[in-house]
Amino acid sequence: MIVIIVLLSLIGIWAVVVFNRFVRWKNLIKEGWSGIDVQLKRRHDLVPNLVWIVREYRGYEEKVLIEIARARSKCLAAAEPALQAGSENALSRGLKSLLAVAENYPELKADRQFLALQVNLVEIEDQIQLARRYYNGTVRNYNTLVESFPGLIIAKTLGFHLALYFEIETATERESINIEANNV
């Protein structure tokens, strides 16, 4: 009888320890997401200023500005990392288009405000990448706990599910150049 009580006690202690590990990693994921969220809000706050400066120059492409405004609205409305990734990718594509439009206007490229906003955007994109790496590393560790034995027993029993990674493009990423061997 004592052996059974000791065995049940050990199983209970083990279950509590594993449960607490799940709770710890879930909280680290929330912390990681809050870091991404802060940087994304900084980027969202920068967008109206970029649009305003580009709009001041004649010949701007209204389609690009409308696309950016729509994408920004979707980003602000998205509540979950899974939904936000698609919206953020659309915003990144719009910002890339905006920066490409700026290439056609030397006066705009030389504008101090535009240059300062562009530098700020690069800094924010770097911070987003750092926050995303931390978040995704935390998700990896949590998912490993959820999928590995014996933790998966507690995970399935108590409803802990795999977390999703946050993958987005950045507005300042350079497209890789495809050089064919025949052209060299």
Task: Note whether residue 152 is domain-resident.
Answer: yes
Q: Prior bond to 150 cis, omega within 30?
A: yes
> What does the pLDDT look like over 43-79, one tens digit per residue?
999 988 888 887 776 555 677 778 888 888 888 888 7
In a domain, 142, yes or no: yes
Question: Tell me: the pLDDT tens digits for 106-117?
Answer: 777 778 888 888
What's the chain's Rg over C-alpha atoms? 23
Q: Which CATH number fits the domain that encloses residue 38?
A: 1.20.1440.20
Structural contact between residues 88 and 40, judged by C-beta atoms closer than 8 angstroms: yes
> Which residue bears the tokens 């010949």?
59
Looking at the domain assignment, is residue 10 inside a domain? Answer: no
Which whole number is the average pLDDT over 114-126?
89
- Does 145 score more than 90 pLDDT? yes
Residue 136: inside a domain: yes
Structural domain total, the chain: 1
C-alpha–C-alpha distance, residues 17 and 108, integer Å? 59
Range of the domain at 107: 25-169
- Model confidence, pTM: 0.77
Q: Does residue 112 fall inside a structural domain?
A: yes
Instruction: Tell me whether residue 14 is in a domain.
Output: no
Compute the distance between CA of residue 163 and CA of residue 100 in angstroms, rounded to an integer.
Answer: 35
Q: How many residues does the chain have?
A: 184
